[in-house]
Amino acid sequence: MKNPESYFGIQLLKWNKLFNQREMPWKGEKDPYKIWLSEIILQQTRVDQGLDYYNRFVAKFPSIEQLAAAEEITVFKLWEGLGYYTRCKNLIATAKYIAIELQGAFPTTYDSILALKGIGPYTAAAIASFAFNLPYAVVDGNVYRVLSRFFGIDTPIDTTIGKQLYNTLANDLLYKKMPGVYNQALMDFGATICKPQLPACHTCPMRKKCDAYKNNLVSTLPIKEKSITKKIRWLNYLVFEHNECVYVRKRGAKDIWENLYEFKLIESVGALPIEKLKQLKEIKAITGNQTFEINHISAIYKQQLTHQTIYGQFIRVKLTQVPNLTGFKKTSRIDLLQLPFPKFISNYLKDKNVSLNLF
């Protein structure tokens, strides 16, 4: 068991008091709803990207009851562009659960917070310590990195044994008189001083006792066992146009873009030349015997996800008759802009050249 008032903890809190200038709108926030909202937005999202979303959500839904009462499509539209849409689905489910089943009272214990949909140990510890001052250490990428470097731990952070080890160490080090302040300080320290690339070791108040610094291991730690291999996918989106309308559908369950809208999708192993596109049996099945025209093929779009790299193009197909597209709805331009789309598609729709020329 580490002494909670260890060199590490003392230096961290001292740094926090004297030098930490990291400002975020949710810092010092005590409302569990707002802390929860910020934490869900920040899962898998950089702070600078999440900031606007947080402000927009709080402005539109100042309370959990207002979020719970909102139409699902409105919440998804507000979430559009943040990615990892399961978070949004869980956000809606949890808001409804708290507003209806718990009469708006946010759970106040670590276990009851952890039991909520979309909340893992990290988020539960953050809410429990920030909102209720409960002694639970947050353990995220920042914490793994700082502890691994300072204590010179080379156990891979992505193994069961590594996770247990870091979790125990983080909880032993936690300054239990002020768990919220300590947790926030550690995350800020990892984000601004002990950064993944080019950490500020020369100004770091812990360098005298930092194992990685003394042994020239800063760029080696922390260690990961598996490096992620990224799958490559190629998406061809067919924008069928007829009578000033296009055809979209809502994506079905169980994938990363669940509940979002899309055009007709055909996946291929790479870019398809126009002649090949025209011959595709999927297009023939949709167009039947009518004459149609491929009047625009977009530039290539790219999106990097954690486990896959997505490339794709949007192909506008002008029809003379109604297409045979089961499950798709005919949508005007105005309505199209109200629907939530994956970032990959909204980037295309926001493209000046596209929106000016579409229809």
Task: Provide the annotated active-site residues.
Answer: 39
Spell out the alpha helix ranges (H) of the chain: 7-18, 32-42, 47-60, 64-69, 72-79, 86-96, 110-114, 121-132, 141-151, 160-173, 179-192, 211-214, 274-279, 281-287, 333-336, 343-350, 352-357
Give the residue from 135, 88, 84 showing the smallest Cα distance to 257: 84
Asked if residue 278 lies in contact with residue 232, where contact means CB atoms within 8 angstroms, the answer is no
Nearer to ligand SF4, 135 or 222 (CB): 222
The gap from C-alpha 127 to its chain's centroid, in whole angstroms, comes to 18
**Residue 295 — φ and ψ, nearest 5°?**
-100, -5
**Nearer residue to ligand SF4 within complex by CB, 107 or 199:** 199
- Nearest approach, Cβ of residue 316 and ligand SF4 (Å): 52
Q: Position 236: which residue type?
A: N
> Quick one: how far is CA 20 from the chain centroid?
26
Q: Provide, rounded to whole angstroms, the least separation between the CB of residue 152 and ligand SF4.
A: 10
Taking the complex as a whole, the smallest distance from the CB of residue 56 to ligand SF4 amounts, in Å, to 34
Instruction: Tell me how far, at minimum, the Cβ of 206 lies from ligand SF4, in Å.
Output: 5
Position 88, amino acid = C
CB of 271 to ligand SF4, least distance (A): 44
Specify the residue, 113 or 157, whose C-beta has the smaller distance to ligand SF4.
Answer: 157
Site residues (vs ligand SF4, CB under 6 A): 149-150, 193-194, 199-201, 204, 206-207, 210, 212-213, 218
Per DSSP bridges, beta strands 329-331 and 261-262 are unpaired
Number of Cβ atoms within 10 Å of the Cβ of 262: 18
